Amino acid sequence: MAPRRLRVDGRDWVVEERPGTPGCYDFDWLSGPDPGYGFTSQTSDGSPVDEQEVRDAIADSTAGINPETGHLD
């Protein structure tokens, strides 16, 4: 997957598959409170994920974001 910019729940992200590590994706939160804030996700078998799975991963990870601080509680 080439780096892809996405907007999920009003938040801007760049998602990129990690070179040399199939099924491993780095999620960078562009509109977050801190530079470099994001997360990594990897499939257990190295299989690729589709865009809906990427969007679901973002929504799941940000579900616990405190709207006042922009951080996970």
Domain boundaries, the chain: 4-62
Taken in order 70, 44, 7, 31, is the CA torsion positive or negative?
positive
Q: What number is the average pLDDT over the span 54-69?
A: 89
3-state secondary structure of 56: helix
pLDDT-derived band at 19 (thresholds 50, 70, 90) equals: very high
C-alpha dist (Å) from residue 54 to 28, 49, 73: 12, 7, 22
- pLDDT above 90 coverage of the chain, percent: 68
| Spatial CB neighbours of 10, under 8 Å, sequence gap ≥ 6 | none
pLDDT at 5: 97
